[in-house]
Amino acid sequence: MPKRSYTAEEYRDEVAALLPPLPVTPLPLADCLGLVLAEDVVAGVSLPPFDNSAMDGYAVRAADVAAAPVTLPVADDIPAGRVDVRPLEPGTVHRIMTGAPLPPGADSIVQVELTDAGTTNVLVNEAVVAGKHIRRAGEDVVVGDTVLRAGTVLGPPQLGLAAAVGLGTLPVRRPPRVLVLSTGSELVAAGEPLPPGHIYESNSVLIAAAVREIGGHATVLRFVPDDVDKFRAVIAEHAPGADLLITSGGVSAGAYEVVKDALTGQGVEFVRVSIQPGGPQGFGSVDGLPVLTLPGNPVSAALSFELFIRPALLGALGHGVVSRPRAKARTTAAMSSPEGRTQYRRGRHDDGMVAVVPVGGPGSHLLSSFAASNCLIEIPLGVAEVAEGAEVDLILLD
Ligand code: AMP
Ligand code: MG
């Protein structure tokens, strides 16, 4: 039997348990940015694959230019990509471009800047040591090397390396497919005229963006009036193939709590988490689809995602690190907090992480304060007053 009341840590674990690891699948490199590699990657080719020139210039035998300045005949021209490269005869040079294969017999490259750039004969002004400006096969990667380890978060350099060893896809935990549904008869989509008594809907925009930011696929469902049948119909229509449904609104203590009314007894537990804002939460599964129901106030919804859903989704994606970095700083203003809850204030820390300025009050409707913040100030359970200048715990969002 689930509990009715949770600490933030307990609830975070409960939410994480709801989202199992996502399946591993090969995805095109272009779709892998930010995802986690699920298996080691072994190089099928060496890098470079063959000895080649690191400079535009002339392939030479170092002994032939030891007495520079010296003029030598240019016997051939080797652009990058040419494969029928002739051996270099003693006493001659080949003009060669960066990345072109080194001709057999050559032991160094004279860069073009050290010559008169001739094409029939070339004046070489300086001697070179053998091996100069040659990139040897396998210098970077040897065929059979493990070049990327399972668990690596795939950023631009890792994706570039995968392509360099010839891979078109990588095995990753695929992005979660997340449905986002806001409820509230007062809600109007941004861009529409605003009738009296209505407000612009913002939670679905914020939550969907937060899902995408960590590599998930978010589908925003058109929000419905506070009507249980319409709510159920929208979910039933979109549930197939989804990994998670996130709703906002309709879970608190008032009347017309559409999410509570529709999902109570259907596999979702409505509980209280001892945090502020964001106390009323719901979790469970409806017909096999994990469901998380967030309170409607914008900061409550955002904070709920931040504290509970973000780490759970990162875990399902295979990330080793699922929590934000933390720090400590001194608050520039006193704060009070309900003793029985962990309070999350919005704040701005300075670059040196010395001071933090609380931004706005504790109200869960103050979205502009959240948007102006770069951290959360965590005031723990049992603390009612924080004095100006006291050291506080920060969760860093930037
Ligand atoms: P509720 O949890 O449905 O009682 O909503 C709490 C408060 O948040 C109310 O003032 C709602 O108007 C507001 N709210 C609920 N959902 C949204 C939303 N999607 N976007 C912006 N504000 C919302
Ligand atoms: Mg509502």
What is the rounded CA–CA span in Å between residue 275 and residue 42? 46
Q: Which of 392, 395, 274 is nearest to 335 (CA)?
A: 392
Torsions phi, psi for 187 (to 5 deg): -90, 140
What's the whole-number mean pLDDT along residues 251-264?
88
Ligand 2 ion: residues within 5 Å (CB): 184, 249-250, 296
What's the whole-number mean pLDDT along residues 195-210?
97
pLDDT band at 45, cuts 50/70/90?
Answer: very high
pLDDT band at 222, cuts 50/70/90?
Answer: confident
pLDDT band at 254, cuts 50/70/90?
Answer: confident
User: In the structure encoding, which two tokens stand for residue 13, read together?
Assistant: 């674990």
Question: What mean pLDDT, rounded, does the chain reach?
Answer: 96
Q: Which of 259, 194, 195, 178 is nearest to 225 (CA)?
A: 259
Amino acid at 287: D
Q: How far is the CA of 184 from the centre of ligand 2 (A)?
A: 4
pLDDT at 248 over 70: yes
Three-state SS across the chain?
Answer: CCCCEECHHHHHHHHHHHCCCCCEEEEEHHHCCCCEECCCEECCCCECCCCEECCCEEEECHHHHCCCCEEEEEEEEECCCCCCCCCCCCCCEEEECCCCECCCCCCEEEEHHHECCCCCEEEECCCCCCCCCEECCCCCECCCCEEECCCCECCHHHHHHHHHCCCCEEEEECCCEEEEEEECCCEECCCCCCCCCCEECCHHHHHHHHHHHCCCEEEEEEEECCCHHHHHHHHHHHCCCCCEEEEECCCCCCCCCHHHHHHECCCEEEEEECEECCCEEEEEEECCEEEEEECCCHHHHHHHHHHHHHHHHHHHCCCCCCCCCEEEEEECCCEECCCCCEEEEEEEECCCCCEEEECCCCCCCCHHHHHCCCEEEEECCCCCEECCCCEEEEEECC
Q: Which of 277, 278, 202 is nearest to 15 (CA)?
A: 278
280 lines ligand 1 (CB under 6 A): no
250 lines ligand 1 (CB under 6 A): yes
Which residues touch 220 (CB under 8 Å, ≥6 apart)? 180, 181, 204, 205, 208
What's the whole-number mean pLDDT along residues 77-106?
96
pLDDT for position 326: 97
pLDDT tens-digit readout, 287-339: 999 999 999 999 999 999 999 999 999 999 999 999 999 999 999 999 999 99
304 lines ligand 1 (CB under 6 A): no
Q: Which of 136, 68, 67, 138 is nearest to 107 (CA)?
A: 136
pLDDT tens-digit readout, 165-196: 999 999 999 999 999 999 999 999 999 999 99
Q: How far is the CA of 132 from the centre of ligand 2 (A)?
A: 72
Q: Ligand 1 test: best mutation among 180, 192, 199, 207, most atoms within 8 Å of CB? A: 199
**Contact predicate 115/123, CB 8 Å:** yes
pLDDT at 2 over 80: no
pLDDT at 1 over 60: no
249 lines ligand 1 (CB under 6 A): yes
Q: Ligand 1 test: best mutation among 180, 259, 270, 297, most atoms within 8 Å of CB? A: 297
pLDDT for position 3: 72
293 lines ligand 1 (CB under 6 A): no
% residues pLDDT > 70 (the chain): 99
pLDDT for position 4: 87
Q: How far is the CA of 183 from the centre of ligand 2 (A)?
A: 6
Whose Cα sits closest to atom 15 in ligand 1?
296
pLDDT at 33 over 60: yes
Q: How far is the CA of 302 from the centre of ligand 1 (A)?
A: 12
187 lines ligand 1 (CB under 6 A): yes
% residues pLDDT > 90 (the chain): 94
Amino acid at 378: E
CB atoms within 10 A of CB 178: 24
What is the rounded CA–CA span in Å between residue 308 and residue 371? 19
295 lines ligand 1 (CB under 6 A): yes
148 lines ligand 1 (CB under 6 A): no
342 lines ligand 1 (CB under 6 A): no
Atom of ligand 1 nearest to the CA of 226: 3
What's the whole-number mean pLDDT along residues 110-129?
98
What is the rounded CA–CA span in Å between residue 35 and residue 171? 10
Q: How far is the CA of 199 from the centre of ligand 1 (A)?
A: 9
- List beta partners, residue 344: 378
Atom of ligand 1 nearest to the CA of 280: 2
315 lines ligand 1 (CB under 6 A): no
Which ligand is nearest the CA of 293, by number? 1
- List beta partners, residue 192: none
pLDDT for position 315: 98
**Contact predicate 101/52, CB 8 Å:** yes
What's the whole-number mean pLDDT along residues 71-97?
96
Which ligand is nearest the CA of 184, by number? 2
199 lines ligand 1 (CB under 6 A): yes
Q: How far is the CA of 185 from the centre of ligand 1 (A)?
A: 10
pLDDT at 223 over 80: no
